Amino acid sequence: MTARILLTEPQGSPRQTLEQYRARGGYAALERARSEIEPSALIDLVEAAGLRGRGGAAFPTARKWRLAAAASADQKFVVANGGEHEPGSEKDKFLVANYPHAVLEGILLCGHATGASKGYLYLIEDMAPQIEAAEAALAELRDAGLLIFDIEIHRAPTTYVAGEETAAIDSIEGGPGKPKEKPPYPGESGVHGKPTTVNNVESLAHVPFIVREGADAYRAIGTAESPGTMLFTLGRAAKNPGVYELPFGTTYRELIEGCGGGTASGRAIRAVLPALSCGFLAAEHLDVPIAHETLRPLGSSPGCGGVSWIEEGDDVLARLSEIAQFFMDEQCGQCPPCRMETNQLVHVLKGVQAAKGPGYREQITKITDFARGKGRCSLIEMAAASIVSALDVFADDFAAAAGGA
């Protein structure tokens, strides 16, 4: 689990100050980029490093930047998305509260690469510590003359879908924070119809290291297809809950036992859920390296790193019903297939819990197959992922609950 830590080095205060950040090379990347690196070359560097989004979708960062950079417009924007709404994930909150300058330098570097003249730090309206930390960091930047374009803190609604990139744009424009149809993509037409690059705050926080140290240094950490580190959240089910930065290639056993101290209950883990919107991994996969290329064949992904699990003795159907109910409550109502799927998943799981017998697998498969890809955002896929995977991982639990199906 050892590697050079990119984001979360120890510091002497809860919030890393500008002085502390500069002492470890902070803003040297921005100064170098502005004086030595052409915007297109900066995008090439990010592409060579293999940086992917850390919000859950893992989209190649450079591809988003290229789209906005290629667009012709009198104004462009950057949005650092810290609208962390997924239960079990605290990494964005942790990062902005403790290391806001890494995020801000990432915003400014993205602006240099794409030609943006304004940035937004998109945070949830109830994130008081994060907003306070970001405001203090921005004040330090202004006083030091390092704020090369304006960055505004936008307070987002507390709804789950408001964390989606087009929903973030809708909120910044004064809307309710609901997803928009794509295309056009934000890089083509985003905030006020202008080209906009939307990246997760953790994604942007990796960029200064890449610019300072180079793509090869970044790729030396992690795995071939998943370079760098990632922030993982362990909740109170672990003995040592918290946010941990680890290189890709670490295993869930190393994360949960080595960092988290194992389960707080002392019970064995039956399956891991890498994030609420991912597929379950059976206990036999605890030693599989965490990387996109290793988890994809298993029907899962690292997601946003909000790690939870099912332990021996847990009520599996009750947990699945909680997950299904969450997505049903949080879907925004715009897309009929999404409304149908999330409602029907809750209904079918209640039927299984009521021991109504066979047919649940066919119903779940039919519902999710019909709805796949039909929404304005990916909530349809998110709502289905854990339930569909659970049909196999917890086949015996389903059969027993359904009355021997």
What is the extent of the structural domain holding 270? 229-311
> Residue 9 domain-assigned?
no
Q: What percent of the chain has pLDDT over 90?
A: 93
Tokens, residue 257: 């036992």
What is the three-state SS of 306-372? EEEEEECCCCHHHHHHHHHHHHHHHCCCCCHHHHHHHHHHHHHHHHHHCCCCCCHHHHHHHHHHHHC
Same-domain status, 193 and 251? no
The answer, yes or no, to whether the previous bond of 184 is cis (omega within 30 of 0) is: yes
How high is the pLDDT of residue 123? 98
> Over 50: is that where the pLDDT of 3 sits?
no
Residue-level pLDDT at 5? 62
Q: Of the segments 7-16, 82-91, 202-211, 370-379, which one has the largest average pLDDT value? A: 202-211
The predicted pLDDT at position 401 comes to 92
Which pTM was predicted?
A: 0.95
Rounded CA-CA distance 102/15 in Å is 11
CATH number at residue 171: 3.40.50.11540
For residues 361 and 391, the answer to whether their CB atoms sit within 8 Å is yes
The band of 10, judged by pLDDT with boundaries at 50, 70 and 90, is low
Residue 14 confidence (pLDDT): 83
In whole angstroms, what is the distance from residue 235 CA to residue 242 CA?
A: 7
Please state, in angstroms and rounded to a whole number, the distance separating the CA atoms of residues 81 and 71.
21
With 0-12 CB in 10 A as exposed, 13-18 as middle and 19+ as buried, what is 343?
Answer: middle
Q: What is the pLDDT of residue 4?
A: 52
- Tell me, yes or no, whether 179 and 236 share the same domain: no
The residue out of 219, 239, 267 marking a domain boundary is 219
Instruction: Mark whether 25 and 43 lie in a shared domain.
Output: yes
CA distances from 146 to 31, 82, 106, 141 (A): 9, 22, 13, 5
pLDDT value at residue 264: 98
Q: Taking 50 as the threshold, does the pLDDT of residue 182 lie above it?
A: yes
Q: Is the pLDDT of residue 2 over 60?
A: no
348 inside domain = yes
Claim to verify: residue 190 and residue 125 sit in the same structural domain: yes
Rounded to an integer, what distance in angstroms lies between the CA atom of residue 107 and that of residue 205? 8
Each residue of 21-45: pLDDT tens digit? 999 999 999 999 999 999 999 999 9
Of 219, 243, 264, the one marking the end of a domain is 219
113-125: pLDDT as tens digits: 999 999 999 999 9
Helices within 195-313 (DSSP H only): 201-213, 215-219, 252-253, 292-295
Domain count, the chain: 3
pLDDT in tens, 117-161: 999 999 999 999 999 999 999 999 999 999 999 999 999 999 999
Residues 266 and 365 in one domain: no
C-alpha dist (Å) from residue 123 to 137, 385, 396: 15, 26, 42
The answer to the question of residue 11 being in a domain is no
Q: Tens digit of pLDDT for each residue in 254-295?
A: 999 999 999 999 999 999 999 999 999 999 999 999 999 999
Q: What is the CATH number of the domain that holds 294?
A: 3.10.20.600
> Are 38 and 139 in the same domain?
yes
Residue 7 lies in a domain: no
Final residue belonging to a domain, choices 219, 237, 254: 219
Q: Indicate whether 174 belongs to any domain.
A: yes
188 and 118 inside one domain: yes
Tell me: do 301 and 324 sit in the same domain.
no
* Residue 295 and residue 265 share a domain: yes
Q: Are residues 41 and 126 in the same domain?
A: yes
- Establish if 10 belongs to a structural domain: no
Residues 144 and 50 occupy one common structural domain: yes
Indicate which CATH number applies to the domain containing 387. 1.20.1440.230
CB 159 within 8 A of CB 177: yes
Are residue 133 and residue 256 in the same domain, yes or no? no
Question: In the structure, what pLDDT confidence band is assigned to residue 13 with cuts at 50, 70 and 90?
Answer: low
Per-residue confidence (pLDDT) for residue 12, from 0 to 100: 54
Q: Decide if 288 is inside a domain.
A: yes
CB 269 within 8 A of CB 263: yes
